[in-house]
A = this chain, B = another copy of it.
Amino acid sequence: MLDKKHIKFFQNLLGEDNAYFDQAHLMAYSYDATRKRHLPDGVLFPGDESDVSKILKYCNENKLAIVPRGAGSGFTGGALAHEGGLVLAFEKHMNKILEIDMQNMVAVVQPGCINMDLQRVVEEQGLFYPPDPASQDYSTIGGNVSENAGGMRAAKYGITKDYVMALRAVLPNGEVIRAGKRTIKDVAGYNIAGILIASEGTLAVITEITLKLIAKPKFTKTAMGIFPSVQTAMNAVYKSMAAGVTPVAMEFLDALCINAVEEKFSKGLPKEAGALLITDVDGDIEAGLEQDLATIERVFKENGAGEFKIAKDASERNDIWFARRNCSQAINIYGTLKLNEDITVPRSRLPELLKRIAEVSVKYGVKVPCFGHTGDGNVHTNVMVADKNDPSQVKNGHQAIEEIFKITVELGGTLSGEHGIGISKAEFMPLAFSDAEMALFREIKRAFDPNNILNPGKMGL
């Protein structure tokens, strides 16, 4: 429970409508996409950067924990006050697009701006903001930056970090800093923007984000290949790209996913298939897209694809993408508890990764449907526990996850391609990082946040 004098301070600063301490509001800000629940001690809605500065200064002096929060759509608990503290929520006031600068092809937004709102506004002007996490309809740019969100288009267009040109942020001591510039080149001073990205709200509170925009590609085409096995599909992924094609996306579904989608939605997918690859290519010259699709078709067929289909129109595009988009939901038929991870390996290691995940699945008696962004080596690995009320099944599931993490690291991969570490993966950090690396992380945390008030206990620090 928060001391009354603290409550009074925040209510005076923000007004009672922007500083809540009642049970109903605390409940409403106690969850995220992990479905874990942790009641915060209060919920604050800053109106502007100056509010953020005053809040942080006060919290720093009084050693009160702060948990910055966008939409609460994260998968690893980054926005959860799992050790108590005050949620700093940006959705209410600091959610605006401040500027679209057409001349320099740059957007300036507040952290609570919703990703899709930005995409829509810039596309109306012929520009393009590529990062498209699956949560794009509700997740915020501040959250995207803090977790370094990826998405479907990363294979060609990269991820959030590739679009952040500059940030404004508030340090725990209340000082406002600027990092980066509205320029492609800027090498003066340390790359503070670079380290704030993906720092999960543990170093500073981001108050303004300047993003690079690009020209919107004129044409997009979609194709699908059906493969006899996961192995053949994984070979086709990296060989297509090594053949010189850079698809926007090259997405994958394994046999379990295909069957789940078919069982739930009856879309006429081939239930006997071993794997499905869905790919988008884009560009300004139609001949270029055709050339890319021809290369992909050749490589797919050389690697065993029995069928290759190019969507003729928007309706066929939607049909092809339906399976991928509804996959995550469909695989719930395999269990009542889903342990979903977003491991990533170098593309050429995908065949081995998938082979070894299949072995883990057998060993622990759990189904592990896999799908995801194979064009960038990112596989959504879902350990499905048939009965979440059976402790031995749950234990097996967790052991399977741990083994999959070990395999991933062994193959030169990372624990997280998109979702971050938060609290969910904190215990696995020592699998991926040495003592020296963890010690360095702690030193950096201390350099920004000596009193450890920002998202304490996250990232295994």
Chain B residues, Cβ within 8 Å of A436: 171, 173, 175-177
* 16 pairs, CB–CB < 8 Å, chain A vs chain B: A103-B239, A103-B348, A105-B241, A148-B187, A159-B185, A175-B434, A184-B377, A185-B417, A188-B414, A188-B415, A188-B421, A189-B421, A189-B437, A190-B198, A444-B444, A446-B447
**Stretch in A252-260, A339-347, A396-404 touching the partner:** A339-347
A173: B residues at CB distance < 8 A: 436
Q: How many residues of A contact B (CB 8 A)?
A: 90
Whole-angstrom distance between the Cβ of A415 and the nearest chain B Cβ: 4
Which residues of chain B are within 8 angstroms of A101 by Cβ–Cβ distance? 346, 348
| A189 pairs with B158, CB closer than 8 A | no
A195 contacts B194, C-beta separation under 8 Å:
yes
**Quick check: is A321 within 8 A (CB to CB) of the other chain?**
no
The reply to whether A184 and B154 contact each other, CB–CB distance below 8 Å, is: yes
* Residue A283 interfacial (CB < 8 Å): yes
In the complex, chain B residues whose CB is within 8 Å of the CB of A439 = 175
A301 within 8 A of B: no
Complex interface bits, A406-448 against B, C-beta within 8 A gives 1, otherwise 0: 0000001111111111000100010011101101110110111
The yes or no answer to A310 lying at the interface (CB within 8 A) is no
Q: Does A161 contact B (CB under 8 A)?
A: yes
Give the residue name and chain of the B residue nearest to A460 (CB): B189
Interface residue? A329 (CB, 8 A): no
Query: Known contacts being A215-B246, A412-B182, is A238 close to B192, with CB within 8 Å?
Result: no
Q: Which chain B residues border A433 with CB–CB below 8 Å?
A: 188-189
Docked Cα-Cα span, A214 to B421, in Å, equals 29
A246 to B128, CA, bound (A): 13
CB <8 Å contact, B191 and A417: no
With A185-B417, A347-B104, A417-B185 as given contacts, are A440 and B177 in contact (CB-CB < 8 Å)?
yes
- Beyond A104-B346, A197-B191, A284-B288, whether A434 also contacts B177 by CB under 8 A is yes
Closest CB-CB distance, A107 to chain B, in whole Å? 13
A287 within 8 A of B: yes
Known: A171-B436, A448-B440. A345 touches B188 (CB 8 A): no
Taking A171-B436, A183-B376, A188-B433 as known contacts, 8 extra A-B pairs with beta carbons closer than 8 A to each other, sorted by chain A number, are A103-B347, A103-B348, A175-B434, A181-B346, A183-B344, A185-B414, A244-B284, A285-B285
Q: Whole-angstrom distance from the CB of A236 to the nearest CB of chain B?
A: 12
> CA–CA, A241 to B127, complex, Å?
11
Contact between A186 and B417 (Cβ–Cβ < 8 Å)?
A: yes
In the docked arrangement, what's the CA distance between A378 and B446, Å? 35
Whose C-beta in chain B lies nearest to the C-beta of A238? B103
Closest chain B residue to A186, Cβ basis: B414
* Contacting residues, chain B, for A284 (C-beta < 8 A): 244, 288, 291
Contact pattern, A 71-107, Cβ under 8 Å of B = 1, otherwise 0: 0000000000000000000000000000001111110
Q: How far is the CA of A192 from the CA of B437 in the complex (A)?
A: 9
Closest to A445 in B: B190
Q: Which residues of B contact A348 (CB under 8 A)?
A: 101, 103-104
A241 cross-chain contacts in B, Cβ below 8 A = 105
| A199 in contact (CB, < 8 A) | yes
Rounded to whole Å, the gap between the CB of A244 and the closest CB of chain B is 4
CA distance A429 to B187 in the complex (A): 12
**CB-nearest residue of chain B to A212:** B158
- Residue A46, interface by CB 8 Å: no
Please indicate the chain B residues that have their CB under 8 angstroms from the CB of A148 in the complex.
Answer: 187, 191
Determine the chain B residues whose CB is within 8 A of the CB of A412 once the complex forms: 181-183
The distance from the CB of A432 to the nearest CB of chain B, in whole angstroms, is 6
How far apart are A193's CB and chain B's nearest CB, in angstroms? 8
With A and B bound together, what is the CA distance between A269 and B88 in angstroms? 61
Report the bound CA distance from A196 to B52 in whole Å.
29
